[in-house]
Structure 1
Amino acid sequence: MSRRPDRLFELLPQFHRRRDARPSPTTTLNGGAARPTFQSGEPLRALLAVMAEQLDLVESDIEQQYDDWFIETCAPWAVPYLGDLVGYRTLRGYEEAVSKGGPAAASLAARLAPRADVAATVSSRRRKGTLPLLENIARTVAAWPARAVEFQPLLDTYQSVRLAPRATQASTVDVRRGAELDELGSPFDGFAHGAAAARISSARRQGRYSPPAVGLFVWRLKPYSVTNAPAYCIDRARNLFTFSILGNDTPLVTKPVPEPSPTHIATADNVPAFIRRRALAERLADFYGPGKSFQIWRDGDHHPVPLADIVVADLSDWTYRPQRKQVAVDPVLGRIAFGARSAPKRGVWVTYHYAFSDDLGGGEYPRELTRPPDVSVYRVGPGEPDSKIMDAYRRWREERAEDLSKSNAIIEITDSGAYQEQIAFVLDRGDRLEVRAADGVRPVIRLLDWYSNRPDALIVEPTAGSEVDECGTRAPRLIMDGLLITGRGVHVSGPMGEFVLRHCTLVPGWTLEPECHPAQPEEPSLILECTTACVQIERSVLGTILVINDEVRTDPIRIHLADSVLDATDREFEALSAPECRHAHAILSIRRSTVLGEVHTHAISLGENSIFDGRVHVARRGIGCLRFCYVPAGSRTPRRYHCQPDLAGPASERRVRPRFTSVRYGTPGYVQLAAHCPAEITRGAEDGSELGAFHDLFQPQREDNLLARLEEFLPAGMDAGIVYES
């Protein structure tokens, strides 16, 4: 629509505007006789509004022409043209991405030709061949923090006694340097390596310790924060805690700090590296404190535990006993232990950083939040009108009973705390409720075992007698956004309109053991019982979906899964099914997602760019299709197009299968494709990206473009390799 649709109409004389407003007579036939009728006026106004919309497009294009002179403000299509003026070589795949058109193509084009790389072309060529430049290229081209290492000085060689020893040559191992020994094999390893190690690493890491060679160590996992959240008590008698509210071991990562100068070589403080025990013990002040990697509070104090009271220990078996007033921290496992005489009485709170691949599931990362003008917002958290979720819900119900216009409401949680309460949302016809986290927080809903004779799930159901109308527009709707739910699942029943999970985590297996094994591996995270809800799951992580519907009297419900992980905790368990492993009475639509487990459903309307790491069995094969997916052999599916391992052939079925860094929720590399995963999976999507939930990271395109840049800026005669550190 035009910004001013009446801008042209207002320029007309008053005579024409009044005449245009009059009803225009028309002639219709009624029983064979002509009968004059009148239609509403202002046809000229409607025509000029369409012309004004096109005029706005022309004016916007003229205004954009000045912005297109500068790389910082130009349109995405103009980036390679400005780059050509300074000799920038267009990266692979840019023209193809631009030719596709649309918002998704524009986003991909921006990733393939980043503005920062074009803007720094001239200065980069002046610094050609330097290690800091290679690190900067990795950040601008691939958005990966990196450390460049020249391997020739790290190769152990014999020196002639007739020549002066080289001061820059790496030395042999000094067993008394414990902190440096802890970095053996890491990007910060400064010891010399022999020829045998050179040959092994040459095959594994593309030339490490094999001169001439440069290695670029990159970190694909990102640091995510958890701010002022409660810790989990493992043992109250011995005062043992974990940083993670789920009770699992979570390795802490460094909160990266900017490098001081463009010529600086990245250190462990500048990249999201995992914190080591020895490094933390030697430089505790660099990691602990406000604005740093982690902090600990106790008993509700406003001031954190003093730095002098923190000690670093190995808490693998919980045998270490801190002294009085001491707080033992294990950064490798994410564990905390207090002394017997200084045990916290009113709880422990922590701030820390963990590693994960992308903005997926509940987290403190930025999300797009909207607030329609006619929606009432009820805030929950410390210092807010309500301290519990159900208190805000009841207040909304009371106000809605007095004023029926308040059918739309938002319950917004403002902190990263844990909410332990029984939750049941009963919605009337026409209600629209959104329960969400505020921007920058990650609240946790802990559904405890309140009663021994019922499941204690989070219940969503309509009130009695709120049947859905023919169009379904008055059916109640519920949206959950930015939440982490543990302890139990979510139970949806009755005639619902929409049920939306967005940026949420329904912990697979309900909760986790210390080693990230699920506590209840076969329990469902989402139960859809006798409901008409259209389920939409976006950028979320959840466990098994169980559908209990009448297959005779009702139509199949719709389940839309996009950019998410559906985890049954084992590829032999059911990720989507009805009770007793029967077909779920549902039609599934799945895009760019990873399914760990078997799928038994009525039909699949569309599946694209996804991984099914478990057998798929549909009742109706004539509905829908699968395209650019991985489906295990022996599956019963609708027609397939460019799916694996079909393209690889029967002889390659065992080779072409997805391999993950980890399949346990709670680990840093959860459902991340491993480095040795076949190219048919890592590049098997429609646009050449990887299959699965992290498709939109465009990892293969980043790697290709980074290699192209390394070839351009390396010294003559040098080769380089990319080493994935995470």
Structure 2
Amino acid sequence: MNTIDTARADRLYALLPTVHRMRDADQGYPLKALLHVIAEQVNVVEDDIAQLYDNWFIETAQDWAVPYIGDLVGHVPLAEAGLPADAPACENPRVLVPRREVANAIRNRRAKGTLALLEQLAQDVAGWPARAVEFFKLLVRDQNINHLYLERHRLVDLREMDALDQLGGPFEAIAHSVDLRRIDSHRGTGLFNIPSVGVYAWRLLSLPVTDTPACCIEEAGPHCFTFSVLGQDAPLFVAPQPETDPSHIAEELNLPAAIRRHAFDANPGAFYGEELSLSIRAEGWAGAPGSAIVPLAQIVPADLSGWTYVPRANQVAVDPVLGRIAFPPSQLPRKGVRVSYRYGQPSAIGGGEYERPLLAPAGPYKLYRVGEGDQFEFHRIADALAQWQKDQPDDAVIELGSSAVFVEPLSVTLADGQSLQLRAAQRTRPVLRLIDWQTDLPDALTITLGERSRISLDGLLVTGRPLRVQGRSDGYASADVCGARVVIRHCTLVPGWGIDCNCEPRRPAEPSLEMNGLRATISVEHSIVGTIRVSEDQVGLDPIPLNISDSIVDATGHDMQAIGGPGDGIAHVMLTVSDTTVFGIVDVHAITLAENCIFTGCVNVARRQIGCMRFCYVPCRCRTPRRYRCQPDEAIADVRRRITDADPLHAEILSEQLRLRPQFTSERYGTPGYAQLGIHCAAEIVRGADDDSEMGVYHDLFQPQRAANLRARLAQFTPAGMHVGLLFAN
């Protein structure tokens, strides 16, 4: 408790006469303890009264008060969001009644019928950046001699490469013949019609990586680099620029879109720079002065597919589509290459330079700061660990303060009752790159726990080798004396240890998280991990708890084991999993609870009598605990109620199983749409969770509710006679 909180808690006691406080001190402060409890409740009431004033304003009101303010300005929540009927009205007010929509309600009514308003609604209602397009402007039509539009009445010019590059997207300018289908039809969507207006929404986030080492692709050449430190080809994204005019229609620079080669070639200065979408720093390189970034004049947009393009002297070739860099072979950077760029991801999980809550130990703790620069007391994690082992504090935090790559062998051993948190500082993404240091020993990041010890990894990216957590070599006498805990938050343990340029795993059969002889509670939250392998040799002990939430467990294949024991055996764990996508097979002792999850491989448990699976996708013919409202069980039961003949029943069941199989934008880690449900995924999966949101890791984004709300609002604010459609750009 800080000084201010202590003063507030003891303020009633401070009002007592000195004589009473002296007598209370002689008796061990019983009166002070009583008044401390009373003061806590007084503070609660006082804070609530103070908050009432803030609840009068939309900017400072609490979430529960937003619907009431909206009611004052005539804002009506929409039923199209689709929450279950028995859900309370304010279960998720941020989704049902967006704060920005209430704040702009009057302004939106005044601007009804304008194109820019549709873009503003997408941001206010759904939180998606958007671009509105009037498709009648792209139709081929007869010309009026007084108002000529020559570009709308001609064949496609094959020399206009930039226009061809944007064909079929939200920025295209090539004329089309008319399409009589409605843009908002559920049978078949047609875009190019006179009354059609489209709102393209960008669902992927454009997340930054600042001043981090690039990856040298030595097999292609010492002059070849990728922006991604993992070495894969990944498109670079735009750092969106704010729009200054409310009537302005969003352009590429205003949206979190992938950077096109032609756009980068036409105007590289709009993307390259210190505060822009990307920059390259090669200290000591022939063409770069000092430690400044490579000058814009020496950046050459290029297609680096196959690494066939070779830049000239004093030039650096950049391919934004593949995320590649090429230096002249005769002018190699001698002191390394550091880059800043943006990448696309559906949500802020797995660690990165995004805002996340930092969970510090409850009591006093020792802080060790590691990073590059004189402001840090340690420059290597091993040095901080050595000092920590020397000090032996009960609670400690080792904080990595920069988006650097740490290449060093690491091993942590905790004493009984000791706790350690290895975390990234806010707005950083440090990388632990584990390499083959020792010939005759494994090189994993090894953590050895004692009784009641606690280890937490927060905001880290681990590649090259697995994370191995183990108990002491002497073992534990029983499960109830351990009390140890392992927490993995906002981390990425790269599936398959690493990925190649095509995002294929380098070691697909190897686990990313190993637990050996461990008696502890394991928690994985908001993380991306590869295969989890549990080795438990002590017979007769209770299974260890394994809790996974808001995460991705990726075995790199549907027929490979995602959670299990050695030799594809059963993991001796009690699994509790929620809002998670699992690519692969799950073999565990028991499942306590699984809800709102997607399992692409089979789920097999040893004990079916305990636990429950609810609102999940689980393939047929799996050995699971009892299932409630799971798919494809619900769809198959519906088919059996409708059809009684054996032959058509069997064919319909197979058809339903195929239709309900989850479809993803991408199933490979390192791609922008990783684990995102595809736009053609079955509605039973997209709205199959217990609150009508989507199953899987992105459940808490509430994208079905946001899309339903946005479609309804767009229909309300579209001019009469026009049809508006919501289109997803990514």
TM-score by length of 2: 0.89
SS at 2:607 equivalent:
coil
SS at 1:211 equivalent:
coil
- 1:453-506 alpha-carbon deviations (Å, 9 max, x no partner): 3331111114xxx5x3xxxxxx22111111000001011111571111110000
SS at 1:647 equivalent:
helix
1:68 shift after superposition? 2.4
* Partner amino acid, structure 2, of 1:254: V
Structure 2 matches for 1:157-196, cutoff 5 A? 157-159=141-143, 164-167=146-149, 170-172=152-154, 173-195=156-178
1:115 shift after superposition? 1.9
- Name the CA distance, whole Å, in 1 between partners of 2:425 and 2:129: 28
Match of 2:230 among 224, 235, 246: 246
Question: Partner of 1:28 in structure 2?
Answer: none
Question: Partner of 2:368 in structure 1?
Answer: 378
Aligned length: 689
- Name the CA distance, whole Å, in 2 between partners of 1:197 and 1:491: 60
Question: Partner of 1:674 in structure 2?
Answer: 678
1:111 shift after superposition? 2.8
Question: Partner of 2:267 in structure 1?
Answer: 283
User: Which protein has greater RCO, CA pairs closer than 8 Å, 6+ apart?
Assistant: 2
- Name the CA distance, whole Å, in 2 between partners of 1:716 and 1:199: 15
Cα 1:569/1:197, change in 2 over 3 Å: farther
Match of 1:349 among 311, 317, 338: 338
2:296 is aligned with 1:319: no
Question: Partner of 1:31 in structure 2?
Answer: none
Report percent identity of matched pairs.
49
Cα 1:460/1:106, change in 2 over 3 Å: farther
SS at 1:648 equivalent:
helix
Cα 1:253/1:581, change in 2 over 3 Å: same
Structure 2 matches for 1:287-366, cutoff 5 A? 287-299=271-283, 301-366=290-355
1:392 shift after superposition? 0.6
User: Which blocks of at least 5 consecutive residues in structure 1 are unaligned?
Assistant: 24-39, 401-405, 469-474
Any conservation in 1 of the 2:158–2:164 contact (CA below 8 Å)? yes
Any conservation in 2 of the 1:250–1:666 contact (CA below 8 Å)? yes
Match of 1:662 among 662, 666, 672: 666
* Partner amino acid, structure 1, of 2:316: V
Structure 2 matches for 1:206-285, cutoff 5 A? 206-235=189-218, 237-285=221-269
Question: Partner of 1:403 in structure 2?
Answer: none
Cα 1:164/1:579, change in 2 over 3 Å: same
1:205 shift after superposition? 7.7
Match of 1:136 among 120, 139, 144: 120
1:397 shift after superposition? 1.0
1:281 shift after superposition? 0.6
Question: Partner of 1:605 in structure 2?
Answer: 592
2:446 is aligned with 1:459: yes
Question: Partner of 2:712 in structure 1?
Answer: 708
Cα 1:717/1:263, change in 2 over 3 Å: same
- 1:669-696 alpha-carbon deviations (Å, 9 max, x no partner): 0000000011111111111111111111
Any conservation in 2 of the 1:207–1:720 contact (CA below 8 Å)? no
SS at 1:397 equivalent:
helix
- 1:361-404 alpha-carbon deviations (Å, 9 max, x no partner): 0211112124456211111111222111111100111122xxxx
Cα 1:286/1:95, change in 2 over 3 Å: closer
- 1:418-448 alpha-carbon deviations (Å, 9 max, x no partner): 1111111111112111111111110111110
Question: Partner of 1:698 in structure 2?
Answer: 702
- 1:300-347 alpha-carbon deviations (Å, 9 max, x no partner): 642011111111111111111111111111110001111122111221
1:65 shift after superposition? 2.7
2:128 is aligned with 1:151: no
Cα 1:84/1:459, change in 2 over 3 Å: same
Question: Partner of 2:477 in structure 1?
Answer: none
Cα 1:598/1:582, change in 2 over 3 Å: same
1:507 shift after superposition? 0.2
SS at 2:669 equivalent:
coil
Question: Partner of 1:62 in structure 2?
Answer: 49
Question: Partner of 1:413 in structure 2?
Answer: 400
Question: Partner of 1:424 in structure 2?
Answer: 411
- Name the CA distance, whole Å, in 1 between partners of 2:258 and 2:548: 32
- 1:554-595 alpha-carbon deviations (Å, 9 max, x no partner): 321111101000000001000001112111111111011110
Question: Partner of 1:116 in structure 2?
Answer: 100
User: Which blocks of at least 5 consecutive residues in structure 2 are unaligned?
Assistant: 285-289, 473-481, 638-652
Cα 1:164/1:529, change in 2 over 3 Å: same
Structure 2 matches for 1:27-38, cutoff 5 A? none
1:56 shift after superposition? 3.8
- Name the CA distance, whole Å, in 2 between partners of 1:330 and 1:169: 30
Structure 1 residues 447-456 or 238-247, which shifts more? 447-456
Cα 1:581/1:371, change in 2 over 3 Å: closer
Cα RMSD (Å): 2.7
- Name the CA distance, whole Å, in 2 between partners of 1:168 and 1:62: 66
1:85 shift after superposition? 2.3
1:62 shift after superposition? 2.8
Any conservation in 2 of the 1:135–1:216 contact (CA below 8 Å)? yes
Question: Partner of 1:391 in structure 2?
Answer: 383
* Partner amino acid, structure 2, of 1:387: H
- Name the CA distance, whole Å, in 1 between partners of 2:310 and 2:212: 25
SS at 2:252 equivalent:
coil
Cα 1:297/1:205, change in 2 over 3 Å: farther
Cα 1:14/1:391, change in 2 over 3 Å: closer
SS at 1:602 equivalent:
strand
SS at 2:350 equivalent:
coil
SS at 1:195 equivalent:
coil
- Name the CA distance, whole Å, in 2 between partners of 1:235 and 1:45: 70
Question: Partner of 2:471 in structure 1?
Answer: 494
- Name the CA distance, whole Å, in 2 between partners of 1:201 and 1:91: 18
